[in-house]
Amino acid sequence: MLKPGAQTIEASAYEVIVTDDSKEGLAQQLIQEKYIWATWVKGPTKGPAANRNNGAKYAKGEWLVFIDDDCEPGTDLIKTYSHAIINYKEVRVFEGYINVDRPQRNFMEESPINTTGGHLWSCNFMIKKDIFLKTLEGFDEKYPFAAMEDVDLYYRLKKLGETVEFLQNACVIHPWRLQNRPVDLGKKRFASLLYFLKKYPEKRKKYNAAYFFKAFLNMGSGLLKNAVGFRFRGFSKRIIVMFMQLYFALRVSLKKHSNILQKNTAN
């Protein structure tokens, strides 16, 4: 939906860059043979954060629009972002509408959804290139796993006092992703969260034991009703993920007390 003629704006008004993070460069031949209107570049093979930063460096324009390779952009995506540049002259960051293509069928299906704003998920947003590359120096590539980089970017923007405008007509459809190894994924995301909290200690007030206990309760709410609707697909894994939240609550609580003890000992 980004090919010339698919968007409701002239193809000359935008460029499409595909940064390929596979070690083998698997997308190169496909792009160069079937999608000649797109530019293929070799990624650094260091994860999504580094790969997005890599693609941004090749952009010729003043603005960057990020979407994921599994997203289906709406036909008005680029036009909506283009009009926003004109209509919101003081705004340098915009987030788009993200929704799924069908109802959920399995507890282990997940997707980033942003229908009202306030998230800045990395699969659909626009930012002025100079603030992204020069002021922010892109996504933080030091996160141990692919999680929290967009939360980090959003937080840094808010600390700078940047306004983020939500554009409902800048739409992408993000398909459900079936997570087959939720325990490993949960541990990786928690490790990235710990890095985030180390970087921003003030955010421990939000991501504390109560935060994970609330997540545990929310996952349990309507559990049996959804289980029937999903025909119990992913039910056992959902239970495991639920109780992982209690484990994470304990971990952050112990880490908090450990930091307090270290501080008191130092004094």
The string of pLDDT tens digits covering residues 78-101 is 999 999 999 999 999 999 999 999
Counting Cβ atoms within 10 Å, is residue 215 exposed (0-12), middle (13-18) or buried (19+)? middle
Each residue's pLDDT tens digit, 170-223: 999 999 999 999 999 999 999 999 999 999 999 999 999 999 999 999 999 999
What sections of the chain are H helices per DSSP?
27-34, 48-57, 77-87, 129-130, 149-159, 182-199, 209-220, 223-229, 235-266
User: Using an 8 Å Cβ cutoff, are 93 and 162 in contact?
Assistant: yes
User: Using an 8 Å Cβ cutoff, are 53 and 136 in contact?
Assistant: no
CB count within 10 Å of CB 176 equals: 16
pTM of the entire structure? 0.92
